[in-house]
């Protein structure tokens, strides 16, 4: 319990951040649609957010070395909160593009600050349980956040006030803590060529996680507004319900899938999760006019498959890495995921408006899930599994955070 007391302020901060992030994830695409922006351009703007996140993750270590965790977090939270309010002052797509890039970088700085701090505040024997609780609370906040704006118009000022309030409140536990800041992090990295040579299946799965999940979730609020028209709360209520269904599915399967991957080849588990996601996506793509209850169930099944395999791909890379490389390998995989997140939303935006189908968003997800499944089976046939004695236990790992490798219990 002492370890939890040491980091409760960090967990409280990330809950507020993810509440704000959940709100932004719903109102941004719906707001852009209200402003007359096409799905393809909405996807491109979502890619801009991923570019900002990638830049923030790239520079966060140097920023923390120069200014310390508290100052980096505070500066990024101030910029992010102000940028959310600025979205109401600049109700045009180009202004929002710039703002979303800034927000991506700010979120990367905030999460990097929290996670590097968390790693030094928790003892090695408790890192796994504390990390799991930390990630669980972050996901719960992502599910809950959108419901604060259910029923509000996408460009009403109140959703943006809610988001700014949550981000501002995240400053309180960080700025008022009396805990000492951690030592500056290392900024070393593993070249991508070396990373692919080490674990090609991990690179493929993490990259496709970025493409599939970032693209689909970026356009999901618009899909929900069309496919769930009778949900209470209008477009924002439908978007909140759809996001909750997908994230809840991911939360349900993430832990058992990870534990199963400790027993059988992780690539087989990723292939199974891709098959589950691909099947659900194919149903949603081929039958876009299903009853609303069936759509929500299919979204939950899709999330159960697609929002749960990133951490298994990361664990596969760690199985093949030397102990001293773990943090750098995880940072490299986060960068690969971010590259996929830049590519995914524009692709999904184009697929959303394919002329011959109403289910293009999920047909693309089904196609890419099939590619992932066959890639995993191909890699398993081409290369044997790492010996069981060399494998590390799977641990919850999310790609939305800035320095995930720093809090992994397998890292020094």
Please tell me the predicted confidence (pLDDT) of residue 119. Answer: 63
CB 198 within 8 A of CB 329: yes
- Per the domain annotation, does 235 fall within a domain? yes
Please tell me the predicted confidence (pLDDT) of residue 282. Answer: 96
- pLDDT category at 65 given cuts 50, 70, 90 is confident
Task: Please give the share of the chain, as a percent, with pLDDT higher than 70.
Answer: 84
pLDDT at 315 over 60: yes
- Say which DSSP state 309 is in: S
Rounded to whole angstroms, the Cα distance separating 379 from 386 reads 12
292 vs 112 pLDDT, higher one = 292
Average pLDDT over the chain, rounded to whole?
A: 84
Please give the helix or strand (H or E) that residue 258 lies within, else none: helix 234-261
Helices (H) and strands (E) in the chain, counts: 16, 0
Residue-number span of the structural domain to which 228 is assigned? 2-178+186-407
Please tell me the predicted confidence (pLDDT) of residue 120. Answer: 66
Number of domains in the chain: 1
- pLDDT category at 356 given cuts 50, 70, 90 is confident
Q: How many angstroms separate the Cα of 328 from the Cα of each of 24, 155, 406? A: 30, 41, 9
- Per the domain annotation, does 412 fall within a domain? no
Rounded to whole angstroms, the Cα distance separating 307 from 123 reads 29
150 vs 399 pLDDT, higher one = 150
Average of per-residue pLDDT across 331-345: 88
Please tell me the predicted confidence (pLDDT) of residue 406. Answer: 39
Rounded to whole angstroms, the Cα distance separating 251 from 140 reads 9
212 vs 408 pLDDT, higher one = 212
CB 280 within 8 A of CB 372: no
Query: For 68, phi and psi rounded to 5 degrees?
Result: 90, 160
* Per-range mean pLDDT, top range of 79-93, 103-117, 125-139: 79-93
Please tell me the predicted confidence (pLDDT) of residue 374. Answer: 96
Looking up residue 305, the CATH number of its domain turns out to be: 1.20.1250.20
- Per the domain annotation, does 383 fall within a domain? yes
Please tell me the predicted confidence (pLDDT) of residue 410. Answer: 38
- Per-residue tokens: 239: 């978007």
Please tell me the predicted confidence (pLDDT) of residue 401. Answer: 43
Rounded to whole angstroms, the Cα distance separating 134 from 117 reads 13
- Per the domain annotation, does 11 fall within a domain? yes
Which among 353, 409, 405 is positioned nearest to 41, based on CA atoms? 353
Rounded to 10 degrees, the C-alpha dihedral 45/52/243/276 comes to 100
If one counts every other C-beta atom within 10 angstroms of the C-beta of residue 293, the result is 9
Least confident of 48-62, 339-353, 368-382: 48-62
Query: For 408, phi and psi rounded to 5 degrees?
Result: -65, 135
Rounded to whole angstroms, the Cα distance separating 7 from 122 reads 8
CB 12 within 8 A of CB 176: no
Task: Please give the share of the chain, as a percent, with pLDDT higher than 90.
Answer: 48
Least confident of 180-194, 290-304, 328-342, 343-357: 180-194
131 vs 407 pLDDT, higher one = 131
């Amino acid at each position: 319990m002492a370890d939890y007391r040491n980091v409760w302020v960090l967990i409280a901060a990330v809950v507020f951040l993810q509440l704000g992030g959940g709100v932004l994830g719903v109102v941004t695409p719906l707001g852009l649609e209200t402003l007359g922006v096409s799905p393809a351009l909405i996807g491109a703007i979502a890619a801009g957010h991923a570019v900002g996140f990638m830049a923030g993750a790239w520079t966060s270590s140097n920023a923390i070395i120069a200014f310390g965790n508290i100052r980096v977090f505070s500066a990024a939270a101030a910029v992010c909160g102000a940028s959310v309010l600025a979205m109401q002052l600049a109700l045009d797509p180009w202004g929002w593009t710039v703002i979303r890039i800034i927000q991506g970088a700010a979120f990367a700085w905030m999460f990097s600050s929290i996670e590097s701090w968390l790693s030094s505040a928790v003892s090695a024997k408790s890192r796994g349980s504390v990390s799991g609780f930390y990630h669980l609370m972050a996901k719960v906040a992502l599910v809950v956040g959108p419901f604060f704006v259910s029923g509000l118009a996408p460009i009403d000022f109140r959703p943006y006030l809610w988001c700014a309030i949550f981000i501002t409140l995240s400053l309180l536990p960080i700025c008022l803590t009396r805990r000492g800041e951690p030592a500056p992090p290392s900024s070393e990295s593993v070249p991508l060529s070396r990373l692919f040579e080490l674990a090609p299946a991990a690179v493929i799965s993490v990259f496709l996680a970025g493409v599939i999940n970032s693209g689909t979730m970026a356009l999901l609020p618009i899909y929900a507004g069309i496919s769930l028209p009778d949900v209470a709360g209008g477009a924002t209520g439908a978007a909140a319900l759809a996001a909750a269904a997908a994230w809840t599915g991911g939360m349900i399967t993430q832990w058992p899938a990870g534990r199963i991957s400790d027993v059988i080849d992780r690539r087989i588990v990723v292939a199974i999760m891709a098959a589950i996601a691909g099947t659900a996506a194919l149903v949603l793509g081929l039958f876009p006019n299903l009853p609303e209850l069936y759509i929500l169930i299919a979204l939950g099944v899709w999330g159960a498959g697609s929002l749960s395999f990133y951490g298994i791909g990361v664990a596969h890379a760690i199985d093949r890495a030397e102990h001293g490389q773990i943090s750098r390998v995880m940072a490299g995989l986060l960068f690969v995921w971010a590259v996929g997140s830049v590519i995914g939303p524009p692709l999904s935006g184009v697929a959303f408006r394919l002329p011959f189908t109403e289910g293009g968003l999920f047909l693309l997800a089904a196609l890419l899930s099939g590619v992932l499944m066959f890639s995993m089976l191909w890699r398993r046939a081409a290369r044997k599994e790492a010996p069981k004695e060399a494998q590390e236990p799977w641990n919850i790992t999310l790609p939305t955070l800035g320095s995930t490798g720093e809090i992994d219990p397998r890292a020094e």
